[in-house]
Amino acid sequence: MTSPIRTERHDDVLVIISDNPPVNALGAAVRQGIDAAIEEGVADASIEAMVIRCDGRTFFAGADITEFTKPPVEPLLPTVVDIIEASSKPVVAAIHGTALGGGCEVALGCHYRIAVPSAKIGTPEVKLGLLPGAGGTQRLPRIAGVKLALELTAKGDPIPAKKALDAGLIDRLAGEDSLADDAIAFAREIKANRPIPRASEKEAKADPEAIEAFKKENARRFRGFDAPAANIACVEKAASVASFAEGIAFERQEFMRLMMGVQSAAQRHIFFAERQASKIDDVPADIKVRDIKRVGVIGAGTMGGGISMNFLSAGIPVTIVEMQAEALERGTGTIRKNYEATAAKGRMKPEQVEQAMGALKPTLNFDDLRDCDLIIEAVYEEMSVKKDIFTRLDAIAKPGAILASNTSYLDIDEIAAATARPQDVLGMHFFSPANVMKLLEVVRGEKTAGDVLATVMALAKKIKKVAVVAGVTYGFIGNRMLMPRQVEATKLLLEGATPEQIDRVHVAFGMPMGPFQMADLAGVDIGWHRDPTRIENIRDALAAENRWGQKTKAGFYDYDEKRTPSNSARVAEIIEDFRKREGVTPREINDDEIVARTLYTMVNEGALILEEGKAQRASDIDVVWIYGYGWPVYRGGPMFWAQTEGLGKVVAGLENHGFTVASSLRDAAASGGRIK
């Protein structure tokens, strides 16, 4: 087997080159090759300096994550980084693309670093529930200071080369197209410098104030996660111990603790699940997709505007249609306002705002959708309205155009039947706000063509969405699983729980908010029949009194001017009235019962969805809940969490509260298997 590492001699400089596509992952063969190449350079008396660089689109972009579940192969990455650093001849890292994770640690092990201006450097291991375990937490604060080390390790976001240069993380910027030559020239320039600068021999300056400020500033972001605290502790250790070896020992201990923990397993599960979700089981990967040059959006409201922004931001022109001039003007104004707010934060240039708005064609003429390759309907949830729109679309859309509905619940097959081209129809369920939320449920109708499905899944990547294929069922994947949670939460109110108690259990679990906080945010009146004299449930009673949630400063909670919630005496009265009406005597309800009835029931519904073939795989369900509903990533999604909770415990909890258990869930629990 040919090694992915080769060496080139440039007089007195040995260039060590990795060619391990697609991202030069630091697998066993790469590590062995680097080890051998450093040994070659050290042993050769005519070599005075070395350069490590990579072919292809990037410097080493991290460890080979597929090795995590396999037996270790020597030399391990910490050893390789130590070998580079121990070299008796200076080694220069020549960085392009990204130097991430293990790639950043290789660069830190080198004595000097040069990068092209477009390069990015970082340690994203925290996003997999880990920390940089090849000395990264110890070398970073010694080279670039405690403050930047905290940012890089505990947050995991990479920084551009210019910022790295200013912090001393890299020593020089190369020309964008002359890295190889510039790195060799730099190696010649520093070849005689002594002593050779080794990170392990530097001292990290203690900065307790910066550490405390960082913890406080990011407390909300890090809530519930184990890995950020471990990263912070390691950086803190680097700045508080004289011995590099002691810091490394602490880093290794913390790395192994995280590696063997449930949170990292959950975060790694989602890493792979997201990639798996893009695959369509029965559609060939090489199927020819349709060309989408212009997108049509019907409806310029909150959802239609947000959907349009996804395509405009990706450089795809959009025709947006409304019935009334005022609604059209308001919708396009909101799109501009959103873009200008992004530009004000420095995340867009003013010219990019104008470019996006210039690609938007607002119109009151439905016929202007004729030249669109994909048309997305984003009007309110009323089947008759949607069917009428699709009948009209069928008459004007060009042959081969894809027709999509943004429905959250309704039957895509019934909508498709309103056309003579059901093969071109599917659901594209965006989540609100559509220009921010990453999830896209792509709903496959009974007659949806394979190339239509593949086209939309590929397009999702272009507009930076995480797409999951769902079958036709009421509520698809996410909302169907949400329903039993909401039903049980309301029943628990009648039986003796309070909105605050139920919400507290969900927030403690790691959700951004509980079911009643969510109802108040979304609007208690959503889906309400609008008849204040018809009061059939607690929600009807709240809506009849104009308690529509945060927007009216009253819902399941009362709200002040800053939308801060407080428990409501009036809601307690309404709940008590319903108890009397239903003849229910309230009882003490503990947190375990709330978990069983609101979360175990979701797992059960997920198992039913899989049994019915409405989701391709259990991990797809996890992706839906992570990216669409705020399920904590460190719990890996509901189906993964059920495994860690123990399927036997889940089944017993469901049975104890009188639920019918899905047969696949019961079978998996009995056999010690997995829900697939």
Bridge partners of 436, per DSSP, are none
Question: Is residue 99 exposed (0-12), middle (13-18) or buried (19+ Cβ within 10 Å)?
Answer: buried
Q: Which two tokens stand for residue 122?
A: 């970082």
d(CA 304, CA 314): 16
Query: Residue 415: CA atoms inside 13 Å, Cβ hemisphere, count?
Result: 30
Bridge partners of 428, per DSSP, are 442
d(CA 228, CA 153): 8
Question: Which pLDDT does position 66 carry in this prediction?
Answer: 77
d(CA 365, CA 368): 6
Range scoring the smallest mean pLDDT among 110-119, 190-199, 241-250, 593-602 = 241-250
Question: Is residue 101 exposed (0-12), middle (13-18) or buried (19+ Cβ within 10 Å)?
Answer: buried
Asked whether the beta carbons of 200 and 83 are under 8 A apart, the reply is no
Q: How far apart are the first and last CA of the chain?
A: 36
Q: Which two tokens stand for residue 540?
A: 């009807």
- What's the whole-model pTM score? 0.94
Q: What is the mean pLDDT of the chain?
A: 96
Give the full edge-to-edge strand order of the sheet including 360-363: 360-363, 318-321, 295-298, 374-377, 402-405, 425-430, 439-444, 466-471
* DSSP tally for the chain: helices H, then strands E: 29, 19
d(CA 448, CA 428): 12
658: phi > 0 → left, psi -120 to 50 → alpha, else beta; which? Answer: left
**Mean pLDDT across 309-321:** 98
- The DSSP code sequence of 147-158 is HHHHIIIII---
Asked whether the beta carbons of 12 and 48 are under 8 A apart, the reply is yes
For residue range 436-473, what is the model confidence (pLDDT) as tens digits? 999 999 999 999 999 999 999 999 999 999 999 999 99
Question: Which pLDDT does position 362 carry in this prediction?
Answer: 98
For residue range 97-139, what is the model confidence (pLDDT) as tens digits? 999 999 999 999 999 999 999 999 999 999 999 999 999 999 9
Residues 6+ apart with CB under 8 A from 254: 131, 230, 233, 234
C-alpha distance from residue 247 to each of 124, 137, 169, 235 (Å): 20, 9, 20, 9
Percent of the chain beyond pLDDT 90? 97
Question: Which pLDDT does position 514 carry in this prediction?
Answer: 96
The sign of the CA dihedral 377, 382, 388, 390 is positive
Residue 1 pLDDT level (bands cut at 50, 70, 90): low
Longest dimension (CA), the chain: 94
Amino acid at 356: A
Residues 6+ apart with CB under 8 A from 601: 484, 485, 488, 654, 659
For residue range 5-46, what is the model confidence (pLDDT) as tens digits? 999 999 999 999 999 999 999 999 999 999 999 999 999 999
Residue 233 pLDDT level (bands cut at 50, 70, 90): very high
Asked whether the beta carbons of 428 and 298 are under 8 A apart, the reply is no
Backbone angles phi, psi at 329, to 5 degrees: -65, -40
Asked whether the beta carbons of 499 and 557 are under 8 A apart, the reply is yes
Q: Which two tokens stand for residue 370?
A: 């004729």
Nearest Cα to Cα of residue 218 among 204, 232, 237, 236: 232
Angle, CA of 626, 628 and 629, to the nearest 5°: 75
Asked whether the beta carbons of 584 and 495 are under 8 A apart, the reply is yes
Residues 6+ apart with CB under 8 A from 267: 127, 128, 129, 227, 633, 634, 636
Asked whether the beta carbons of 524 and 539 are under 8 A apart, the reply is yes
Bridge partners of 511, per DSSP, are none
For residue range 370-416, what is the model confidence (pLDDT) as tens digits? 999 999 999 988 999 999 999 999 999 999 999 999 999 999 999 99
Paired sense of beta strands 425-430 and 439-444, if any: antiparallel
Question: Which pLDDT does position 563 carry in this prediction?
Answer: 93
Amino acid at 58: T
Give catalytic residue positions: 105, 125
d(CA 104, CA 124): 10
Task: Identify the helix (H) or strand (E) that includes residue 130.
Answer: none
d(CA 676, CA 674): 6
What size, in residues, is the chain? 676
pLDDT of 64 higher than 90? no
Asked whether the beta carbons of 487 and 459 are under 8 A apart, the reply is no
pLDDT of 197 higher than 90? yes
Separation of CA 175 from chain center: 33
Asked whether the beta carbons of 184 and 10 are under 8 A apart, the reply is yes
pLDDT of 560 higher than 90? yes
Asked whether the beta carbons of 519 and 538 are under 8 A apart, the reply is no
Question: Which pLDDT does position 429 carry in this prediction?
Answer: 98
**Mean pLDDT across 347-358:** 95
pLDDT of 619 higher than 80? yes
pLDDT of 241 higher than 90? no
**Mean pLDDT across 244-268:** 97
C-alpha distance from residue 260 to each of 26, 101, 233, 252, 270 (Å): 21, 19, 18, 12, 16
**Mean pLDDT across 553-577:** 96
pLDDT of 68 higher than 80? no
pLDDT of 165 higher than 90? yes
Bridge partners of 295, per DSSP, are 318, 374
d(CA 204, CA 140): 9
Residue reference for tokens 């991202």 = 23
Question: Which pLDDT does position 67 carry in this prediction?
Answer: 83
**Mean pLDDT across 623-636:** 97
Backbone angles phi, psi at 269, to 5 degrees: -60, -45
Mapped onto helix, strand or coil, the DSSP state of residue 430 is strand
Strand residue runs (E) in 247-401: 295-298, 318-321, 360-363, 374-377
Question: Is residue 359 exposed (0-12), middle (13-18) or buried (19+ Cβ within 10 Å)?
Answer: middle
Percent of the chain beyond pLDDT 70? 100
